[in-house]
Amino acid sequence: MNNKEYPLLQVRDLEVAFGERRRRFYAVRGVSFDIYKGETFGLVGESGSGKTSIGRAIIRIYPTTNGEIIYKGQRISGKIDKKLDCRVTREIQMIFQDPMASLNERAKVGYIVAEGLYATEKGLSREERERRVHEALLDVGLLDEFASRFPHEFSGGQRQRIGIARALVMQPEFIIADEPISALDVSIRAQVLNLLSKLQKERGLTYLFISHDLSVMRFICDRIAVINKGVLVELAHTEALFQCPLHPYTRLLLSAVPMPNPVYERNKKVLTYDESIHDYSVDKPVWTEISEGHFVLGNQKELAEYKERIGSVCPLPEDSFGVNVLPQTKAQEK
C-alpha cells in the first residue's frame, strides 16, 4: 500500500459529550489519531467505551463538542458549507452492525441501495442510477435482479452485503465499519471479511474498523487503537500491539480473546484491569510515542517501565513501514 504518508483523516483532541451542565457525560475525551489513505485502522474497546461515538462523530451524526476532524486537509466538524457537506456525505460511508435492523423493511433493495444517490446526485438519470445500483450489487457478490426484492427475503450474510452495496454505490473513499461482523455466524464472517479486503485492494478504500474482538482485528487491521472510557490508551501497528502490548487494559483485552486450542485455554488466565493501579494524582498521564508508531498513555513512571519492557521483552516487530528502528537503541537514546 502506498500513499502511507498522506493522512486522509486527522482527528485532533476530539471530544463528544451528551447532556447539559451538571448531567454532562463525556463519551469521548481528547482523542487524536491519523488515518492514512489505503489503510485499515482499527478501533477496539468494550461496549460503552466510546468507539462508536467516534465513528459517528466522524460521519457527522453526533456533533463534536470540542476538537476537530480534518478530512483531506479540510475541517469537517462543526459548521461547514453545503458543498463540502455534500462531498463528505458522499465520500464517507458507514456499514452498520446489525444487518437485520439497518435495512428499511418496507423498501425494495434497489431503493435501499440507491437512496444515497437520490440525496446527493439529484441530476442522475433513472437509467444511470439503476446501472450504478446493479453494479454495486454485483460488486458485493449479489445478483442484480435482487434489486426488486425486499430485505426479509435475504439471509444475514446477504443483508450485510446489501449494507455494503449501499455504501459502495456512493463511490466512497473512506468507510466506517461499525462492528460489521459481530452479528453474523462464523462461516459468514469469513465471507464478509474477505469481501471487505477484496474491495479495499480493488479500490484503494480506507477503513475505520470498529470492533470489540481483537482476533478479527489482527486479521484485518494495519494499525489498532485501544480505547477505554472515552480515552485512547494505546495505538500501534497490529503486530507490535500483539507482540508487545504495554498498557494493562490492552493486555486485558488480549488475554480475553478466545483461542481455538483447548490445552492453551485450560491454562489461560484472564487478566483483570483495575484503574486504581494508576496513580495519576500528581504525575499526570500523557499520550507519548514510545517507539516508532507505538503510542501509549501513561505517566512518567509508567512510561519508564513501558520503555524497559519494550526494550527487553519484545523482539523487533516487522512493521509494515519497513523502517528498522531497534526499540532498544531508541530507549537508550532517551
Partner 1 sequence: MSEVILRTEDLNVKFSLRGRVLHAIRGVSLEVYKGESLAIVGESGSGKSVLTKTFMGLLDQNGWVDSGSIWFEGNDLAQYKTEKEWLTIRGKKIAMVLQDPMTSLNPLKTIGKQIGEALELHQGLKGDDANKRIQEILLDVGIKEPARRMKQYPHQFSGGMRQRVVIAIAVACQPDILICDEPTTALDVTIQAQILGLIRDLIRKYNLTCIYITHDLGVVANVADRIAVMYAGDIVEIGTSEEIFFSPKHPYTWALLSSLPQLGVKGEELFSIRGTPPNLFNEIKGDAFAPRNPKALNIDFKERPPYFDISDTHKVRCWLQDPRAPKVEPPQVLERISTEGGNLYEQ
> How many Å separate Cα 280 from the centre of its chain?
29
Instruction: Identify whether the C-beta of residue 142 lies closer than 8 Å to the C-beta of residue 160.
Output: no
115/239 with CB nearer partner 1: 239
Contact 40, 207 (CB under 8 A): yes
Q: State in angstroms the smallest separation of the CB of 192 from partner 1.
A: 9
Choice between 184 and 208, CB closer to partner 1: 184
Closest approach of Cβ 249 to partner 1, in Å?
10
Residues of the shown chain interacting with partner 1 in the complex, contacts defined by CB under 8 A: 46-47, 155-156, 185-191, 193-194, 197, 212-216, 218-220, 238, 242-243, 245, 251-266, 268-271, 313
Q: Which three cell numbers stand for residue 58?
A: 466522524
Closest distance of CB 109 from partner 1, Å: 18
Contact 27, 53 (CB under 8 A): yes
Closest CB to partner 1 among 204 and 258? 258
Query: Could you tell me the smallest distance in angstroms from the CB atom of residue 260 to partner 1?
Result: 5
Q: Residue 313 in 3-state DSSP?
A: coil
Strand partners, 75: 70
Sign of the C-alpha dihedral computed for residues 311, 281, 67 and 29 taken in this order: positive
CB 41 within 8 A of CB 205: no
Nearer to partner 1, 312 or 332 (CB): 312
CA dihedral sign of residues 330, 225, 209, 86: negative
* Nearest to partner 1 of 74, 215 (CB atom): 215
CA distance 228 to 19: 20
Minimum CB–partner distance for residue 224 and partner 1 (Å): 12
Instruction: Compute the least distance from the CB of residue 12 to partner 1, in Å.
Output: 28
Question: In the complex with partner 1, which residue's Cβ is closer, 80 or 257?
Answer: 257
